Amino acid sequence: MKILGVKALSIPEIKVIRFARFMDQRGYFTETYRDTDLNGIGELVSLSKAVFHQANESFSRAGTIRGMHFQWNPYMGKLVRTVSGRMIDLVLDIRKGSLTFGCMIAYDMPSVREYDWGEWIWVPPGFAHGNVFTEDTVIEYMCTGQYNPKCEAGISPLAADIDWRLCDRGLKAVFEETAKYSKLITDKDKGAVGVKGWADDPRARNFDLKLL
């Protein structure tokens, strides 16, 4: 895995890892993941300590909105990439005690075959995760915890009390436009609590900043 660069987003715990594709007239080859290449990179301390227990693939039709999902017991960090199509990844800080608690950010992750690079986004425990898709899209994500339906919850991505001040304005506009017309969001996600509703839930103590 040839890593071209690592950058922190406006919530610095969220990292984007760019890796090389080796191109020729036939197409390209790439190693998308190798743990030894990620170990020892200062910006990726939380990722280098991660052990992945589950890998998922998801297909979403254009206009789909998913999120905002999170889990404890076990905690679940996610390493996510777009295989085909375009994903705008959504990340919401749910760490109680964090200066950016309740803030949402977005990152644009199209998959373009002509690019000589691909990207992962690393979302560690302590953040709710979701996506919006502007075209038919396949994504892959590796998880540091196995799915536990008894210890999962969500915050509606449509909640009025989400703080978008750190989010790219253009990507926020894409989300808002998609949310206006799309019916491709589950009732569970649409009807989930807002940020305050979750903060008042006793289970939110699992995401106290001091515990993560």
Choice among 28, 115, 141, 147 that is catalytic: 141
Choice among 69, 75, 107, 129 that is catalytic: 69
Reply yes or no on whether 129 is catalytic: no
Distances (CA, A) of 206 to 7, 74, 203: 28, 10, 6
Peptide bond into 87 cis (omega under 30): no
Reply yes or no on whether 75 is catalytic: no
Gap between the Cα atoms of 12 and 18, Å rounded: 16
Measured on CA atoms in the order 156, 157, 158, 163, is the torsion positive or negative? positive
Q: Is 118 exposed, middle or buried (0-12, 13-18, 19+ CB in 10 A)?
A: buried
- If you search the block for the tokens 């939380």, which residue do you land on? 46
CB atoms within 10 A of CB 140: 16
- If you search the block for the tokens 């977005």, which residue do you land on? 106
Give me the active site residues, please: 69, 141
